[in-house]
Each structure stands twice: as structure tokens, then as C-alpha cells.
Amino acid sequence: MPGISLRSFCKVNLCLEVLGRREDGYHELATVFQTVSLADTLTVVPTAGPDLLRVPRGGAPAGPDNLCLRAVRAYRNQRGWPPGVRLQLDKTVPAGAGLGGGSSNAAATLRALALLDDQPPSDQALHQIAATLGADVAFFLTGGTALGTGRGEKIERLPDLAGLPLVLARPRLSISTAEAYGMLSPEDFSDGARARAMAQAICEGAGIEGIAAHLHNAFTASLVRRWPEVAEVLEALRDAGAVRAEVSGSGSACFGLFPDADAAEAAALRLQVLGLWAVEVQSVNRGWEVVDEAADEAYG
Ligand code: C5P
């Protein structure tokens, strides 16, 4: 059976508020998610043999805990299909960066299987499977611009902000999401009004300045206290011309909003010269995209 190749986009959180800690150990969120054009490529080929995953260029664990393999097992539990898969994951998105790379890969795996399946589960069933894999996996099933609440798994689509020029930049630092949540204190918690105000502004057609005015991240204060290099990256983005800059997710990646694509390109180059990982991206209106509908064996 032929397989399929998908591009699996990453995200930034244009606004991320943490409302408080829940009984189940998770935190209640109000966040505005936005997928951006930096992507990994995932090839999924159903087979009769055991599940196999190849990650040729590092950046993700290739063992059974890899989110793509967990997604395959969760899908199979629901559908009794496929018997096995061969996966190849070509990583571009850095891990431990707050860009949702692993969650996006898990969602792309579910989408790929549903596209190959002659009796795919409903979108609602796919969302239920996604939510068991991680808090923001459900978001990536659709992507684009969305308000996330609950653990981040309750998704309300917003009008697309596609084409927004951004630069992603990060210090040489990977941050565990669980550790970043553990560093929060009650002063970092807020009531969700900022995320709702940003969602409202987006619904009313706000431009760059309007979006920039609402950027916020509950993790920034505690991350900057512990890792000054995060503040340095935010400062470097502003110095390079960002209208505003913020941390994405629980870090360490930061992003800047730029007035146009030329300004973003020049800024990314300037940050690279400083020795930072930096890349110019655009916001996109989806979480995944088919690149090859008849992908062959991922293994040459
Ligand atoms: O769901 P995900 O695997 O991305 O979450 C990783 C960790 O981040 C969780 O185990 C939890 O410690 C923390 N987390 C949280 N509240 C959320 C999302 C994640 O406390 N809403």
C-alpha cells in the first residue's frame, strides 16, 4: 500500500495565560495559538510488519515514546488498523522550544492515517484520540489561528491571520514543559481576559499593531529570572526591528512580529550573524499539508 507525506507545521502562542493549577496536576489555560510556516516532514507507510520509525536528522527520540508512534498505537486501539507502519520523520523544528513540534507530528500522524484509512474515524473521534496524546495535539489537527482553553485541548477556531511576518529565535537552551510549569507562582496566573481580548481583536480584523498590543506570555517572567539568555533573545529581536517580541509556549523559543516580510528576513539574518538560531516565517492557516499522496517506502 502506498503511503503519504505530510508537512507538519509548528506554532507560536500569540497570547498565553495560565489561570491556575488543576486537581489533575495540569494547568488551566487561555491561549491564542497560531501555526507558522516552519515544518517537519512526516512519511507514513502502512505495512504488515512491526511499527518502525526513522528520524534521520535527530531532534526527536526514535524510541517507542516518540509521539508519532504513540499516535499510531492510539489510532490502532480505536480502529484496529493498520497492522503496522513505517514512519520517517524529517525534523526541522527544534525540540524543547515551545513550538509544539512533537504535538504537531502526533497530529500529522493521526491525519495521515485517517487519509489512508478506507473507514476513517469522525473528526470528533480524532480529536478525542489527539487529546489523550498531549494538551495541544488537538489544535494541530486543524491549526491556523485558534483560542485554546482547558488544558489547551478545547479549540475555538478564529479568523485566519495567515501571512503575518514573524521571526523565530532561540537561545541554546531546551526547556522541559513540565519544569517550566513547575516554575510558575501564583503571581504568574491571570484570568484569561488578555487572551479573550486578543481573540476579540482578531475577530474584529486587527492588523499587526493591534495583535502586537495583546502579546503576552505567563512564563516570560519566571524564564527570564532563571535564564537571562531568554531576555537577551527578546532584546535582540526588538533591536532587529520587531514591533514586539514574546516567548512561545514554555520557551525557550521567542518570536518577533515584523511590519513586513523584508524586515523579518533582514532581522533573521542579523540574529544569525549574532550566532543565534533564527528563522523568518509566516503565519499559516493550517496545521498540516499533504506534500506527496503516493509516498513510497520511507526506507531506501
Ligand atoms: O500535554 P503535554 O504532554 O504537552 O504536557 C507536558 C507537561 O506540561 C504535562 O505533563 C504537565 O506537567 C504540563 N502541562 C500543564 N498544563 C497544561 C499543559 C501541560 O501543567 N495545560
pLDDT (tens digit, 9 = 90+) per residue, 81-139? 999 999 999 999 999 999 999 999 999 999 999 999 999 999 999 999 999 999 999 99
Residue 207, Cβ neighbours under 10 Å: how many? 11
Q: Is the CB of 27 under 6 A from ligand 1?
A: yes
> Is the preceding omega at residue 82 within 30 degrees of 0, hence cis?
yes
Give me the mean pLDDT over the 209-224 stretch: 97
In the chain, pLDDT over 90 holds for what percent of residues?
Answer: 93
Give me the mean pLDDT over the 11-36 stretch: 97
Q: Whose CA is nearest to atom 11 of ligand 1?
A: 178
- pLDDT of the residue at 187: 97
pLDDT band at 60 (very low <50, low <70, confident <90, very high): confident
Q: Indicate if the pLDDT at residue 20 is higher than 50.
A: yes
For residue 63, give the DSSP letter.
S
Q: Is the CB of 177 under 6 A from ligand 1?
A: yes
Give me the mean pLDDT over the 12-30 stretch: 97
Compare 60 and 131 and report the one with higher pLDDT: 131
- pLDDT of the residue at 162: 84
Residue 50, Cβ neighbours under 10 Å: how many? 9
- pLDDT of the residue at 297: 56
Q: Indicate if the pLDDT at residue 201 is higher than 60.
A: yes
Tell me which residue has cell 497530529: 107
- pLDDT of the residue at 300: 39
| Dmax (CA) of the chain | 55
Amino acid letter, 60 = A
- pLDDT of the residue at 293: 84
Q: Is the CB of 189 under 6 A from ligand 1?
A: no
Which residue, among 203, 112, 213, has the nearest Cα to 157 in the 3D structure? 203
Q: What's the mean pLDDT when you consider all of the chain?
A: 95
Compare 73 and 62 and report the one with higher pLDDT: 73
Give me the mean pLDDT over the 182-211 stretch: 97
Tell me which residue has cell 492510539: 74
- pLDDT of the residue at 2: 87
- pLDDT of the residue at 55: 94
Q: Measured in Å, how far apart are the chain's first and last C-alpha atoms?
A: 16
Give me the mean pLDDT over the 45-56 stretch: 94
Which residue, among 234, 286, 228, 274, has the nearest Cα to 108 in the 3D structure? 286
Q: Which three cell numbers stand for residue 51?
A: 511499527
Catalytic residue among 40, 90, 136, 160: 136
Is there a contact between 74 and 133 (Cβ–Cβ < 8 Å)?
yes
The rounded Å distance from CA 271 to ligand 1 centre is: 30
Give me the mean pLDDT over the 173-184 stretch: 95
Which residue, among 74, 86, 12, has the nearest Cα to 42 in the 3D structure? 86
Burial of 68 (0-12, 13-18, 19+ CB in 10 A): buried
Q: Is the CB of 135 under 6 A from ligand 1?
A: yes
Q: Which three cell numbers stand for residue 162?
A: 495567515
Question: Which tens digits make up the pLDDT trace of 263-277?
Answer: 999 999 999 999 999
Q: Indicate if the pLDDT at residue 150 is higher than 70.
A: yes
Nearest-angstrom CA–CA distance, 230 and 253: 8
Active site annotation includes 154 = no
Q: Is the CB of 279 under 6 A from ligand 1?
A: no
The rounded Å distance from CA 26 to ligand 1 centre is: 6
Q: What is the dihedral of CA 29, 34, 196, 214, to 10 degrees?
A: 110
Q: Whose CA is nearest to atom 20 of ligand 1?
A: 26
